[in-house]
Amino acid sequence: MQSDSTPSQVAAVVFDLDGVLVDSESVWDEVRKRFTEENGGHWHEGAQRDMMGMSSVEWSRYVRHRLGVQMEPERISAKVSDRVAELYRERLPLLPGAVEAVRALAAKWPLGLASSSNRHVIDLVLEEAGIADAFRATVSSEEVGAGKPAPDVYLAAAERLHVEPSACVAIEDSTNGIRSAHAAGMAVIAVPNRDFPPDPEALELADASLDSLTELSPDLVLKSAA
């Protein structure tokens, strides 16, 4: 519930999922790499960075057309995301401060989530982490027109929260994610992914940058939107 004392310039906070709440980029990277190699494709070292922020529709097409896996994109998406979900059930790689940050901000503002992950993976992560109840709206980029860096997924999150995008603060880690939230008109707090750091040009678009979610606080959210 939004506090009466909360200044009006922030109406909601929208989190990314992968690389922000869960240390998942390496999981997706390894699963897609193994899947590609086991199904006759040809993996290359730039593939992970190319696919960061893509919707499941987009990256499954990439695996087919750029990496050479001769399988329908829908089947590629299902098989890869199901394997990621299996690994999360075995061990969910939550990042330090993730649950605490979500709870602290949920006490002040409605929360949304704008993710490139498949819908069933999003729901699984939030349930396993025990924070599903903290989010008023969650959006998968497979449910909108285009993945990050297009603004679609953030615009949809704001719409489902019934707030203007310009009144939202986004929490992001990647080049495409920062660009997506910025293009939607949101203030952005960057928590750069150490393994896949954002480009300096994208990081300059952020209104604040943190080393870890443990540094995220309501006061910092307000300052980023000022």
List residues with catalytic annotation: 16, 18
DSSP-based three-state secondary structure for 150? coil
Contact 116, 93 (CB under 8 A): no
Query: Between β-strands 187-190 and 12-15, what pairing exists: parallel, antiparallel or unpaired?
Result: unpaired
Q: How far apart are CA 102 and CA 118, in angstroms?
A: 21
Q: How far apart are CA 186 and CA 13, in angstroms?
A: 9
The residues near 49 (Cβ < 8 Å, ≥ 6 apart) are 196
Q: How far apart are CA 102 and CA 104, in angstroms?
A: 6
Q: How many residues does the chain have?
A: 226
Q: How far apart are CA 115 and CA 126, in angstroms?
A: 12
Contact 171, 15 (CB under 8 A): yes
Is residue 149 reached through a cis peptide bond, with omega within 30 degrees of 0 on the bond before it?
A: yes
Q: How far apart are CA 30 and CA 28, in angstroms?
A: 6
Count Cα neighbours of 66 within 13 Å in the Cβ-side half-sphere.
Answer: 16
